[in-house]
A and B are shown apart, each in its own frame.
Chain A
Amino acid sequence: MSGSLNGNSASSGGGATGAGGDDFFDQMLSSLPSPWADLANPKSPWDLTTGANAPRSGEDCGGYDESALLASRLRQHQISGSGSPAGAKPMMLHQMLMSAAGRAPGGGAGAGAGGAGDPSGFFPLPLSLGRDDVEGAFKSPNGTGAEGLFNGYGGGLPGAAQANNQPPFHHAQQGAPMPAQNFGGAAPNAGAQAPAPAASGGGAAAPPRQRVRARRGQATDPHSIAERLRRERIAERMKALQELVPNANKTDKASMLDEIIDYVKFLQLQVKVLSMSRLGGAAAVAPLVANMSSEGQGGSNGAGGSDSSLTVTEQQVAKLMEEDMGSAMQYLQGKGLCLMPISLASAISSATCHPRASASHLGGGPAAAATHHLIPPGPQAQPNSNNHVNPDGPSSPNLSGLTAQSAMANGNADSHKDASSA
């Protein structure tokens, strides 16, 4: 059993706290009430089993639920800090308290409910190790019984019960709440707080020790600090998400998560719906950028009359647009052109990072095509008279073709790169 104890102490979180709690424990044990004093001898913890029966028959075990917490926390600190020999004392003490607390399930349940009411609570424990930490741990217990115990312990506990009702619960929330078998539900605080990292096998004496060990260790060692930091980070990210999601109630985390989930579902549904509804007209936005170079070379035969043809095309498109946009789009598609808002075109061309293109290609203001902008096919086009489309003449179609090619190249490169990295 001692072997399992040692193993548990090793696994409880190796926060190397100072051994300053030893003398503190001596103080505490020395000021113990009389039925317990004779048990305070540094022997194997299993000597206690006989002694533990004594307080069972005793009557003054009512208010020791919180004392159970205190002792458990103390013992955990002891175990994690100093090692076995000094840890025997707190273990014994704790066992006594546990057995006593087992007889008062009602009070313990009340204390446990009060303590466990805010599982997400994270309270700043003093980070200094050693004695200060022990004091800090002793700030946490809740209820008047703890204060009674403090008074009983006399000056050994400088940090008397401060109204901090949020014991280090973080590990408690991690693990499943400990089965109440050990405590008989008496101190669900302790049970919920300290899920033993190791299996709480063995006798009834072993699980309380493990539980206590885990809880106390978290109060002291960097794990609790890490936990706190983690909580803060989670809170920050929840706040950021709140800004993104439209209905930020700010009420609590649960409803906020629901909002976020609903919003993500809604956005995904919107993508789906939009992709369905875009089949009619917008799908005809075929040769936006990619096709222009290829189709431009294909359609190079129209070199001669393309000057006027562009104007004609424009007029034709304008006429068609008055009737039906779809037919206008199809007409353009047949010619290898496409229609797009100027803002989008400028965005695309700037995205391709082609300085010449962005300067010349879209230099024209919206004249005939009010908010639209005709992109002529490939490098073929001539010095045209459409000033508002290609002010630079022969260079710009080349640029547009180049833009198309570079855009395609960029796009392909990106997709290749991402595909390889994915």
Chain B
Amino acid sequence: MNRKNPLPNSNPNSPNSSMQALHFLQALARIARAAPKPAHSARTRQIRHAAYASMAHSSRSSRRTWSRALLHRLRQWQQQRPGRLLTVRRRVRIVTPITSRPEEPARAETLRQLVPGGRGMEYCNLLEETADYVQCLRAQVQLMQTLLDAFSS
């Protein structure tokens, strides 16, 4: 009840989104500076990583489990990318008993796969993390959409 209910914050000018926007733009700047004319897929991937990184760095989510897991995942992606196309997930599952409680619905496993860091959480915390993750995702999508509209209209 206490910290469980973050405000659905879709205001693009709030401090949270500002930090997120700032990080994203900086990342974009770095990308454009680093590789002036990269391949399409490479640039796409870089931008996507930049989006997720800026999400994870936003002020609201820096304390969250999913942001740390997302950063970890990003680092894995960036390290393994130059070699192969598909990276093999070598994460050790040490929390199997928790993730397979019969109490939770069947789709909880799907949700765990979607939300970064969802595998090690209880169902209760998973829902909370999902809410925060959805908020950040929405803010990120709005930000990207705004930029796209602004620069290509």
Contact = CB atoms under 8 A, between A and B. Distances in A.
A175 B141 contact: no
A253 B52 CA distance: 29
Interface in B86-131: 101-103, 105, 107-108, 110-111, 114-115, 123-124, 127-128, 130-131
Interface residues of B, number: 71
A422 B68 contact: yes
A16 interface: no
Interface in B1-35: 1, 4-6, 8, 12-13, 15, 17-19, 21-23, 25-26, 28-33
A174 B102 contact: yes
Contact of B130 (A241, A329, A415): A241
Contacts of A261: 107, 110-111, 114
Most buried by B among A175, A260, A326: A260
A304 interface: no
A411 B12 contact: no
A201 B62 CA distance: 48
A144 interface: no
Contact of B148 (A274, A329, A346): A274
Contact of A237 (B40, B45, B72, B131): B131
A170 B103 CA distance: 8
B34 to A, nearest CB: 10
B32 A284 contact: yes
A267 B107 contact: no
A176 B100 CA distance: 11
Interface size class of A (residues with CB under 8 A): 35 or more
A287 B33 contact: yes
A274 B141 contact: yes
B111 A257 contact: yes
A368 interface: no
Nearest to A280: B152
Nearest to A343: B13
Contact of A286 (B33, B40, B133, B150): B33
A166 B53 CA distance: 47
A288 to B, nearest CB: 5
Contacts of B135: 244
A241 B43 CA distance: 33
A277 B17 CA distance: 21
Interface stretch (A102-110, A347-355, A383-391): A347-355
Contact of A325 (B72, B107, B131, B152): B152
Contacts of A281: 151-152
B79 interface: no
8 contacts: A234-B123, A268-B137, A274-B145, A275-B44, A283-B32, A284-B151, A290-B26, A325-B153
Interface of A: 170, 173-176, 230, 233-234, 236-238, 240-241, 243-245, 253-254, 257-258, 260-261, 263-265, 267-268, 270-272, 274-291, 325-326, 329, 339-341, 343-344, 346-348, 350-352, 407-408, 411, 414-415, 418-419, 421-422
